[in-house]
Amino acid sequence: MSIETAVLHEDKKLAAAEYKSAVKPIWCPGCGDFGVLASFYNALSELRIDPARAVVASGIGCSGRFPAFVEAYGFHGVHGRVLPLATGIKMGNPDLVVCAVGGDGDAFSIGAGHLPHAARRNVDITYIVMDNEIYGLTKGQPSPTSPLGMERKASPYGSIESPINPILMTLAYDASFVARGFSSRPKEVTELIKQGITHKGFAFIQIYSPCVTFYDTYKHFREVTAPLPANHDPTDKLAAIRLAMSEESLYLGVFYKKERPALDELVTSKRQIAGDSFSLEKLVNSYRS
Partner 1 sequence: MQRMDNDLVIRIGGESGEGIVTTGEVFARIAAFAGLEVYTVRTIPAEIKGGHVMFQVRASQNSVFSQGDELDMLLAFNQEAYENHAHLLKPGGILVFNSDELTPPTPQNGTAQYGLPLNELAKSISFVRGKNIVAIGALVKLFDLPYERAQKVVERQLGRKGGELLRQNLQALETGYKYVEEHISRESPFHLKGREATEGDRLVISGNQALSLGVITAGCKFYAGYPITPASDIMEFLAAQFPKLGGTMIQAEDEMAALAMAIGASFTGEQAMTATSGPGLALMVELLGHASMTETPVVIVDVQRAGPSTGMPTKVAQGDLRLAVYGGNDEAPRIVVAPISVEDCFYQTINAFNLAEKYQVPVILLSDQDMSVRVETIPPLRLKDVHLEPRLLAQPTEGNGADEPSLHGYERYVDTPSGISPMSLPGTPGGQYTAEGLEHDATGAPNYTPEMHATNTEKRFRKIQGALEDARRWNMFERLGSADPVVGIIGWGSTSGPVREAVQQAQENGMRVAALYPKLLCPLPEEDIRRFSASLKAVIVPEMNYLGQFAEMLEPRLDVPVIHLNKYSGVPFNANEIYKRIRETYEWATEVGKEAERMSAAVALR
Ligand X SMILES: Cc1ncc(C[n+]2csc(CCOP(=O)(O)OP(=O)(O)O)c2C)c(N)n1
Site for its own copies in 94-133 (CB under 8 A): 108-114, 116-117, 120-122
Q: Is 33 a residue that touches ligand SF4 (CB under 6 A)?
A: yes
Q: How far is CA 211 from CA 115, 183, 206, 254, in A?
A: 23, 11, 15, 24
Q: Is 61 a residue that touches ligand X (CB under 6 A)?
A: yes
Q: Is 57 a residue that touches ligand SF4 (CB under 6 A)?
A: no
Q: What is the smallest separation between the CB atom of 84 and ligand SF4, expressed in angstroms?
A: 24
- Taking alpha carbons only, the member of 129, 118, 142, 121 closest to residue 214 is 142
Q: Is 124 a residue that touches Mg ion (CB under 5 A)?
A: no
Q: What is the smallest separation between the CB atom of 58 and ligand X, expressed in angstroms?
A: 10
Q: Is 238 a residue that touches its own copies (CB under 8 A)?
A: yes
- Taking alpha carbons only, the member of 203, 185, 201, 202 closest to residue 193 is 203
Q: What is the smallest separation between the CB atom of 201 and its own copies, expressed in angstroms?
A: 11
Q: Give the number of other CB atoms < 10 A from CB of residue 49.
A: 22
As a whole number of angstroms, the distance between CA 106 and CA 153 comes to 20
As a whole number of angstroms, the distance between CA 58 and CA 68 comes to 10
Q: Is 213 a residue that touches ligand SF4 (CB under 6 A)?
A: yes
Footprint on residues 75-94 left by ligand X (CB under 6 A) = 79
As a whole number of angstroms, the distance between CA 104 and CA 255 comes to 19
Decide which of its own copies, Mg ion, ligand SF4, none touches 274; Cβ closer than 5 to 8 Å per partner kind: its own copies
As a whole number of angstroms, the distance between CA 158 and CA 29 comes to 28
Decide which of ligand SF4, its own copies, partner 1, none touches 184; Cβ closer than 5 to 8 Å per partner kind: none
Beta carbon nearer to Mg ion, 31 or 228: 31
Q: Return the CA Rg of the chain.
A: 20
C-alpha torsion angle, residues 164, 75, 213, 163 (rounded to 10): 0
Tell me which of 35, 67, 103, 111 binds Mg ion, using CB under 5 A.
103
* Contacts with ligand SF4, residue ranges (CB under 6 A): 27-28, 31, 33, 62, 132, 136, 211-214
* Contacts with ligand X, residue ranges (CB under 6 A): 60-63, 79, 102-106, 130, 132, 134-138, 143
